[in-house]
């Protein structure tokens, strides 16, 4: 095996005086900004009959849904202490440095925000979801890139030539190699286990592939539910597959059969919902493009 790449990147992008700006936070900002720009592009082409200000409200509420839902989802699905924190330590919800965010919780948060916004603007909920779905993979991919830069959420040990060493995993490397002596030689040779770069797999699948497919499909009007169904089905399948080469959260481990993870369990409903929405789309109406009133240019 050739010398593996060692992923030891400074998670701090730059400093603003005493404030540290992290790459992971920048990924969130770029993801939200990109979604807003492309969303306005789609609005101007008549994909949703709302004003620019109304669309801005949608993205603001969606951003809040990602943050609040993502944190609550992590505490419900992944927190080391289980659900006891609800009555023993409710302030743990606000200790964002202890744990992280859950995609599935963030998705539920966005859906709740979208439902409230859609009712307020008297739009069909799934017209809103179909509009937003092609914009989401940008943030998903950038989030996985942030995980890679942070050297977290690494994959299983591997002999593959593109495997990488994650120094932050050293403690787990020693524990794993002690329990599986066949990997001790690799640990001694490289100073750490060579692991699957599962963050990059998710960047490629959940980010690049999903964005390309959903954007191309949504370039012309489609039946209601189709784009949303494709999003749910693709994400569920991609996440379920990558979990086979990604180590489960250490506080949970495998939940059943020696391979089933919480990420896979939470992805199964998405696969089912995706198939159901695609079935519904067969007889659903195709929305017409709306006329968008453009602001008059100065001097005209």
Share of the chain above pLDDT 70, in %: 95
Question: Which residue would you say has higher pLDDT here, 100 or 244?
Answer: 244
**Reported confidence tier of residue 243, pLDDT bands at 50, 70, 90:** very high
Does residue 207 carry a pLDDT above 70?
yes
Q: How far apart are CA 246 and CA 187, in angstroms?
A: 18
Task: Give the pair of three-digit tokens for residue 192.
Answer: 């750490």
At a CB cut-off of 8 Å and minimum separation 6, what does 57 contact? 117
Query: Which pLDDT tens digit goes with each residue over 52-69?
Result: 999 999 999 999 999 899
**Reported confidence tier of residue 292, pLDDT bands at 50, 70, 90:** low
Does residue 142 carry a pLDDT above 50?
yes
**Reported confidence tier of residue 296, pLDDT bands at 50, 70, 90:** very low
Does residue 3 carry a pLDDT above 90?
no
Does residue 91 carry a pLDDT above 90?
no
Amino acid 76: pLDDT: 86
Amino acid 299: pLDDT: 44
**Percent composition of the chain: helix, strand, coil (DSSP 3-state, to 5):** 60, 5, 30
**Reported confidence tier of residue 297, pLDDT bands at 50, 70, 90:** very low
Amino acid 103: pLDDT: 86
Whether residue 273 contacts residue 232, with contact meaning beta carbons closer than 8 Å, is answered with: yes
Task: Show the beta-strand stretches assigned E in 18-99.
Answer: 19-22
Task: Give the pair of three-digit tokens for residue 186.
Answer: 């690799």
Averaged pLDDT for residues 226-244: 96
CA atoms within 13 Å, Cβ hemisphere of 215: 15
Does residue 254 carry a pLDDT above 60?
yes
CB burial of 269-299 (b: ≥16 within 10 Å; e: otherwise) equals: ebbebbeebbebbeebeebeeeeeeeeeeee
Residue 144 counted as an annotated binding residue: yes
């Amino acid at each position: 095996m050739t010398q593996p790449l060692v992923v030891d990147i400074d998670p701090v992008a730059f400093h603003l005086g005493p404030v540290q700006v992290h790459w992971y936070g920048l990924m969130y900002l770029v993801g939200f900004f990109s979604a807003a720009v492309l969303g306005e592009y789609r609005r101007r082409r008549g994909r949703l009959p709302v004003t620019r200000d109304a669309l801005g409200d949608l993205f603001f509420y969606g951003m809040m849904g990602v943050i609040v839902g993502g944190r609550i989802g992590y505490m419900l699905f992944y927190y080391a202490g289980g659900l006891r924190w609800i009555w023993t330590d409710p302030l743990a919800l606000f200790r964002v440095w202890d744990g992280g965010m859950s995609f599935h919780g963030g998705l539920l948060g966005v859906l709740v925000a979208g439902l409230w916004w859609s009712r307020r603007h008297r739009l069909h909920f799934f017209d809103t979801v179909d509009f937003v779905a092609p914009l989401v993979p940008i943030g998903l991919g950038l989030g996985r890139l942030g995980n890679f830069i942070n050297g977290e959420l690494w994959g299983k040990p591997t002999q593959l030539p593109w495997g990488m060493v994650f120094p932050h995993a050293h403690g787990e490397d020693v524990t794993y190699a002690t329990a599986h002596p066949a990997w001790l030689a690799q640990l001694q040779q490289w100073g750490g286990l060579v692991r699957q770069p599962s963050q990059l797999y998710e960047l490629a699948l959940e980010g690049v592939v999903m964005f390309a497919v959903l954007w191309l499909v949504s370039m012309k009007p489609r039946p209601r539910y189709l784009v949303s169904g494709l999003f749910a089905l693709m994400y569920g399948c991609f996440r379920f597959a990558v979990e086979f080469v990604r180590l489960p959260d250490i506080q949970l481990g495998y939940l059943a059969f020696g391979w089933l993870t919480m990420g896979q369990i939470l992805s199964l409903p998405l696969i089912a919902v995706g198939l159901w929405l695609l079935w519904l789309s067969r007889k659903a109406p195709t929305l017409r493009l709306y006329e968008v009133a453009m602001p008059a240019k100065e001097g005209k």
